[in-house]
Amino acid sequence: MLGIEMGWRRLLFANWPVEPEIVERGLPEGLEVDTYDGKAWLSVVPFTNVAVRPRGLPAAVGVSLPELNLRTYVTVPGEDRPAVFFYSLDADGLLSVLGARLAFGLPYYNATIEMAERDGAVRFRSRRTHPGDQPLRFDARYEPTGGRLDADPDSLAAFLTERYRFYVGGRGGKIGYANVDHDVWSLYPATVEFGVNESFRANNFAHPDGDPICYYSPGVDIVSSRRKWL
Q: Examine the pLDDT at 1 and tell me if it is beyond 70.
A: no
Going by CATH, does the domain composed of 4-229 fall within 2.40.400.10? yes
- Write the CA distances from 209 to 18, 19, 183, integer angstroms: 9, 11, 33
Q: Is the pLDDT of residue 169 over 70?
A: yes
61-74 pLDDT tens trace: 999 999 999 999 99
Average pLDDT, the chain: 96
* Per-residue pLDDT at 2 exceeds 80: no
- Across 178-195, average pLDDT: 98
> Is residue 31's pLDDT more than 90?
yes
Q: Tell if the pTM clears 0.85, that is, is over it.
A: yes
Specify the pLDDT at position 201. 97
Categorize the per-residue pLDDT at 170 as very low, low, confident or very high, splitting at 50, 70 and 90. confident
Beta strands in the chain (DSSP E): 4-18, 32-33, 40-54, 63-76, 79-91, 108-118, 121-128, 137-144, 165-169, 175-182, 188-197, 213-224, 228-229
What digits encode the pLDDT tens for the residues 100-122? 999 899 999 999 999 999 999 99
Which among 224, 182, 137 is positioned nearest to 11, based on CA atoms? 182
Name the amino acid, one letter, at 213. Answer: I
Calculate ∠ Cα 23-105-113, nearest 5°: 80
How confident is the model over 160-178, as a mean pLDDT?
A: 94
Mean pLDDT across 74-100: 94
In one-letter notation, the amino acid at residue 45 is V
DSSP secondary structure of 29-64? TT-EE--BTTBEEEEEEEEEEEEEEETTS-GGG-EE
Q: Is the pLDDT of residue 47 over 80?
A: yes
**What amino acid occupies position 156?**
L
pLDDT at 80 over 90: no
Query: What number is the average pLDDT over the span 188-197?
Result: 98
The three-state secondary structure class of 171 is helix
User: Where are the domains positioned within the chain?
Assistant: 4-229
**pLDDT(206) > 70:** yes
